Amino acid sequence: MATHHLTVSASDPPLLAVLKGERRDPPPVWLMRQAGRYLPEYRALRAEKGGFLELVYDSDAAAEITIQPLRRFGMDGAILFSDILIVPHAMGLGLTFGPGEGPQLSPALHDADFSGLTPNPAHFAKIYETVAKVRAAIDPKVTMLGFAGSPWTIATYMVAGHGSKDQAETRRLAYRDPGAFQALIDRIVDVTVDYLSGQIEAGAQAIQLFDSWAGTLSPAQFERWVIAPNAAITGKLMVRHPDVPVIGFPKGAGAKLAAYARETGVDAVGLDETIDPAWAAATLPEGMPVQGNLDPLVLIAGGDALADAVRRIRITLADRPHVFNLGHGIQQDTPIAHVEQLFDLLRQPL
């Protein structure tokens, strides 16, 4: 995989500089799912506007939600308020978010008939509007982050019609008919590249690829369905937008993260909470920025447990470009006071 050489500019905000390979202390910080249900101001807006998807496709509301945590905590990154399943929605599948249940896609593609998938690029227009509105509104010291789901994770929802613990249905299909499954993955890659490119053109300064269900695959399947498609996306984005860093986050990858970091061409990798930062510091390519990896549950605990965990992560990753983040998304029952404690801790030198 070609190495992506990114140059830090004096005008780059701190988070962007670190994603391009510069070390900063204290480290810049943003939190996965920082815009959302743990914030009373989010819950108030959702109650006023209706359902989750209505918020995502209302660019004024989505921009407001993206900015809410910045006002409260002063993050270094603004992550687009949206959802990874906007891509299959744009490919013609029905998408619903029922009360108290996860997202549902219909029809589920159990039978490997992907002929009805017809991407509609116009579907993304409201998302691009959100990116542009946020970028125009935020302080230039804050980095605007766009994102998409990685093809394997998107495919698991498309095949099963919903999330699952072990992705068995999709894994069976990938073994039974790898040619058909490859065709689906390739189609997701093409739509995702265009979607991320549109986000960048609208103002996103860095991109994150979320592979939330990467953890259930065998090494050979991980190579084919996680590493290869993410490498394809990264390579195509690098040609179109050579100055925009890509963060890869294959949750649950474990030791396979080393191959992912070497082979996908991503500029930075996210560490989930199960990865030992000392292992990452010793094993990942030299100088590669890492992001993470505070356990979202220790943020809920707060107090000394939180202080100890933050310090341990910062010390262990002190010799590497490091973006402080959670190991996965912030939980909706996280106390606001503990997020405030986290930011107080992070603003102190080690």
- CB under 8 Å to 184, separation ≥6 — which residues? 109, 112, 114, 117, 155, 158, 159
89-129 pLDDT, tens digit each: 999 999 999 777 789 999 999 888 888 899 999 999 999 99
- So what's the pLDDT on residue 3? 58
DSSP string, 67-93: HHHHHHH--SEEE----TTHHHHHTT-
Global confidence as pTM? 0.97
- So what's the pLDDT on residue 98? 78
For the four alpha carbons of 183, 187, 190 and 196, in that order, the dihedral sign comes to: negative
286-298 pLDDT, tens digit each: 999 999 999 999 9
CA separation for the pair 224, 218 (Å, rounded): 10
Out of 12, 76, 83, 295, pick the active-site residue.
83
Out of 12, 33, 57, 314, pick the active-site residue.
33
Strand ranges for 131-243 from DSSP E: 143-149, 206-211
Say yes or no to pLDDT of 258 above 60: yes
- CB under 8 Å to 341, separation ≥6 — which residues? 302, 303, 306, 307
Out of 46, 72, 187, 262, pick the active-site residue.
46
- So what's the pLDDT on residue 5? 79
83 classed as catalytic: yes
Integer-rounded Cα radius of gyration of the chain: 19
- So what's the pLDDT on residue 61? 98
- So what's the pLDDT on residue 185? 97
43 classed as catalytic: no
Per-residue pLDDT, averaged over 189-199, amounts to: 98
- So what's the pLDDT on residue 350? 84
- CB under 8 Å to 59, separation ≥6 — which residues? 126, 127, 129, 130, 133
Say yes or no to pLDDT of 2 above 60: no
- So what's the pLDDT on residue 279? 98
pLDDT band at 48 (very low <50, low <70, confident <90, very high): very high
CA separation for the pair 65, 310 (Å, rounded): 26
Strand, coil or helix: 269 = strand
Strand, coil or helix: 148 = strand
275-320 pLDDT, tens digit each: 999 999 999 999 999 999 999 999 999 999 999 999 999 999 999 9
Strand, coil or helix: 282 = helix
Rounded mean pLDDT of the chain? 96
CA separation for the pair 62, 75 (Å, rounded): 17
333-345 pLDDT, tens digit each: 999 999 999 999 9
Per-residue pLDDT, averaged over 53-64, amounts to: 97
Percent of the chain scoring above 90 in pLDDT: 93
- So what's the pLDDT on residue 101? 74
Q: Which fold has domain 14-346?
A: TIM Barrel (3.20.20)
Out of 38, 42, 57, 157, pick the active-site residue.
157
- So what's the pLDDT on residue 112? 80
CA separation for the pair 124, 135 (Å, rounded): 17
User: Could you tell me the residue ranges of all domains in the chain?
Assistant: 14-346
128 classed as catalytic: no
